[in-house]
Amino acid sequence: MMKWLQDAVFYEIYPQSFYDANGDGIGDLIGIIEKLDYIKELGCNALWINPFYDSPFKDAGYDVRDYKKVAARYGTDEDGVRLFEEAHKRGIKVLIDLVPGHTSEEHEWFKASSKAEKNEYSDRYIWSDFIFNGIEGHPYIGGEAERDGVYMLNFFKCQPALNYGWLKPTEPWQKGIDDPACLATRKAMADVMRFWLEKGCDGFRVDMADSLVKEDDENKSGTCQIYRDILPGLWHDFPHAAFVSEWNNPDQAINGAGFDMDFYLNHPGNGVNSLFRDYITEGEDRSFFRADGHGDITRFLEEYQPRYNKTMMSGYISLITCNHDTPRLTKTLTKREIELAYAFIFTMPGVPFLYYGDEIGMKYLDLPTKEGGYFRTGSRTPMQWNSGKNLGFSEADAADLYLPVDDAPDAPNAADAMKDPDSLYHTVKDLIALRHANKDLQANTYCEVIYAEKEKFPFIYKRGSFIMVLNPSKETMTNIIPAGFAKVYGIGDIEALPVDESDVLKVGPQSFAVFKATTEKAREAAIAWK
């Protein structure tokens, strides 16, 4: 675990939608540089930037045409280097997106692999040995190459799967994971990572990280072996580098593959889904943070706690406010509900990620698909900076924007939010500041559940000398904490009323509070309290 991750709070930037510095309607790297002071003032000290590589953009840049070249619409390689340098001047680390499981069908590797004659790239991708032999259990494409065979897809039609091998080959054309051709793929991807680390980035978010080895076992042992081969060499030469996986299985990603962090993703029916977006699977929205949802924190904890206990000594589970693949919380939650959700995210262990625009409550918009976005497109709209033209995103004509800006009269913007002390922006800023100021609220201080009952409130948890009390419901209730704790942060109405050796909490509706031990006796009581 990288030491700097202990106090890291990440800000995710979808580059085409963040800030357009050259007036062409699309965000760019210079635009990110010009907004670094905003990010620093907010309190975020690390970035995750979605892919900025050369691409035909059939999947918003996740179809890479050249890993070692910045896409022209974002700028130049030199702009990338300057972005790293300017971020570092402000104490901000930068992770960039790595797409190791596939490339674009326009990548030079794939063009060479598609040729009939054998060459060094013939086995860089997964091909069957005959045009009428499909790839059972996997999507594939045939009839588009001069080569005799079909090729496997890793996701969309435009994304042929790179060949890291099969854990247990059953066909003559399937390679084992230690086949020379698969080792060459592994080496090529490590070379891409080394290229950008040498230019100054601080690590990678790894897209579809568990998708490398095909027909892997339930423990993903083959895919884990790939990362266990690649990562140590990179850490040897770049000891500061950090890696976060899009895996949603922290035991496999952290303990198995060796990642520093793993995202806890919003998958239908899982623990995170039950907190914020239960509408995806239920006819009735019973999300925990919905005031009228009658939610159940144990649905989250039953999944989260075993994962946390298995990985807390070796890596971090990363909770996110949203990302480019997920509907924004504003789709169903009110401002107060979102404030409580953020209070939870920023006081939990692990390394939190804030999605651009979530700090001002940008809305999820109902939009037609763009660059493979489909339902995700509504979370990828331009950042809203001020009340000016195109809400400050670009000086281009509205028709030339990458995506339309929110045209609602009440569309939030950063400039106004920063002036309003009651805005969501200031809630986020205050929560991040609280986390930075207290080691017990940072990444690796142990988290213990104090009170969590099925379909009951409040939820109480402690971290070091701090006790967090969370009540997203509309009801007022009472609970007890040890005496000697003072409230250091609050949303809504929570009071601690002294009674003998304890304090009775009066927990108002839709409220959250952080209490800190103010005496040694209180700290000892917190340690002993279960």
Question: What pLDDT is attached to residue 499?
Answer: 76
Whether the CA torsion 478, 482, 486, 491 is positive or negative: it is negative
- Domain residue ranges in the chain: 8-99+320-437, 446-528
Return left, alpha or beta for 525; rule: phi > 0 is left, psi -120 to 50 is alpha, else beta.
Answer: alpha
Would you give the DSSP letter of residue 398? G
CB atoms within 10 A of CB 130: 12
> What does the pLDDT look like over 385-405, one tens digit per residue?
999 999 999 999 999 999 999
Give 156's pLDDT tier (boundaries 50, 70, 90).
very high
Question: Span 202-206, mean pLDDT?
Answer: 98
Lateral strand order in the sheet of 502-507: 477-482, 502-507, 494-499
Q: How high does pLDDT run on average in the chain? A: 96
* Strands ordered across the beta sheet of 466-471: 447-451, 459-463, 466-471, 511-517, 485-491
* Residue environment code for 192-221, b if the CB has 16+ CB neighbours within 10 A, otherwise e: bbbebbebebbbbbbbbbbbbbbebeeebb
What's the CA gap between 92 and 518, in Å, rounded?
33
Instruction: Tell me which DSSP letter residue 377 carries.
Output: G
Domains 8-99+320-437 and 446-528 share a fold: no
Classify the phi-psi angles of 308: left when phi > 0, otherwise alpha if psi is within -120 to 50, otherwise beta.
alpha
Q: How confident is the model at residue 282 (pLDDT cuts 50, 70, 90)?
A: low
> Is residue 343 scored above 70 in pLDDT?
yes
Top-level CATH class of 8-99+320-437?
alpha beta
Give pLDDT, residue 523.
Answer: 80
User: Is residue 103 within 8 Å of 65, Cβ to Cβ?
Assistant: yes
User: Has residue 281 got a pLDDT over 70?
Assistant: no
pLDDT digits (tens, 9 = 90+) for 300-332: 999 999 999 999 999 999 999 999 999 999 999
Summarised one tens digit per residue, pLDDT across range 241-252 is 999 999 999 999
214, β-bridge pairs = 166
Residue 9 has a pLDDT of 98
User: Would you say residue 521 has pLDDT above 90?
Assistant: no
Per-residue pLDDT reduced to its tens digit, 12-29: 999 999 999 999 999 999
Tens-place pLDDT, residues 415-456: 999 999 999 999 999 999 999 999 999 999 999 999 999 999
User: In a 3-state reduction of DSSP, which class is residue 504?
Assistant: strand
The answer to whether the Cα torsion of 437, 443, 448, 453 is positive or negative is positive
Show the tokens assigned to 105: 């069908």
pLDDT on residue 496:
84
Query: With 90 as the cut, is the pLDDT of residue 47 above it?
Result: yes
Does position 49 have pLDDT exceeding 90, yes or no? yes
Q: Give 279's pLDDT tier (boundaries 50, 70, 90).
A: confident
Asked whether the beta carbons of 390 and 400 are under 8 A apart, the reply is no
3-class secondary-structure state, position 112: helix
Contact 424, 417 (CB under 8 A): yes
User: What are 344's two structure tokens?
Assistant: 């939870």
The rounded percent of the chain whose pLDDT value lies above 90 is: 92
Which of the 8 DSSP states describes residue 72? T
Question: What average pLDDT score do residues 181-206 get?
Answer: 98
- Token duo for residue 224: 């884990």
CATH class of 446-528: mainly beta
The yes-or-no verdict on residue 522 having pLDDT over 90 is: no
CA distance 442 to 378: 32
Rounded to an integer, the average pLDDT of 339-358 is: 98
Per mean pLDDT, which range of 151-155, 292-296, 329-333, 342-346 is the poorest?
A: 292-296
CA distance 387 to 483: 48
- Among 111-120, 179-188, 290-299, 496-505, name the one with the lowest average pLDDT: 496-505
Mean pLDDT for the stretch of residues 41-67: 98
What is the three-class DSSP state of 134? coil
447: CB partners within 8 A, 6+ apart:
308, 348, 349, 461, 462, 463
Angstrom distance (rounded) from CA 508 to CA 516? 19
Cα–Cα distance for residue pair 374/109, rounded to 1 Å: 28
The pTM of this model reads 0.97
Q: What percent of the chain has pLDDT over 70?
A: 99
